[in-house]
Amino acid sequence: MKVFIKFDFNSICKKVLEEKLEEHQIKHKVLGFGEIEFLEKLSNERLEAFSNSLNPYGIEIVENQKSILIQKIKDTIVDMVFNEDTNVNVKSSVYLADKLGHSYGYLSNLFSEVTYTSIENFIIIQKIEYTKQLIISNQLSLTEIAFKLNYSSVAHLSSQFKNTTGITPSAFQRIIKKRRENATKNIN
């Protein structure tokens, strides 16, 4: 039997962090997305045990300043794309500069230097991932998705989707529809 699952990366990550912090009995305060302040001094052993418990989930503690800022850029972009409350009419460059307190030029150069890709490419990838989730959830039309993600047109969304995935959003919708039909047939 096949089922289709909708999930929110941010919620999953927050839940795992909370569970692991509780499990290790670490007093903490959540400062923001991807940022936690320990309210007690941790021994190297406890910190390492906590860090090791996060590794299976692909979560790691970032220690150098460049890596911290890169992670903040990624987290801010994910929040910008996936968060329902974010004002999509604000340019991403302005949004990032305002949220992170650095000029966009500095953030862009640092991001490219460390990740070997541009902020723009990372934003496109996140938008396409969100588009896939919205298509799978079958709640919005492509026109509504394009508007929600601040694309100038469905054609622009389709072009970026095809460049990223190799197929059009319509083809992706047909694949999902076919898989659902097959799953329904297999249940009966």
List pLDDT tens digits, range 168-182.
Answer: 999 999 998 888 888
pLDDT band at residue 184 using 50, 70 and 90 as cut-offs: confident
pLDDT per residue over 58-98, tens digit each?
Answer: 888 877 778 889 989 999 999 888 876 655 567 889 999 99
Return the domain boundaries, the chain. Answer: 7-61, 62-187
Tens of pLDDT, residues 85-141: 655 567 889 999 999 999 999 999 999 998 999 999 999 999 999 999 999 888 789
pLDDT band at 43 (very low <50, low <70, confident <90, very high): confident
The CA distance from 62 to 68, in Å, is 6
Alpha carbon 132 to its chain centroid, in Å, reads 13
Residue 126: per-residue pLDDT: 94
The pLDDT of residue 188: 61
Architecture of domain 62-187 in this structure: Orthogonal Bundle (1.10)
**The overall pTM is greater than 0.85:** no
- Residues linked to residue 29 through DSSP beta bridges, in sequence order: 37
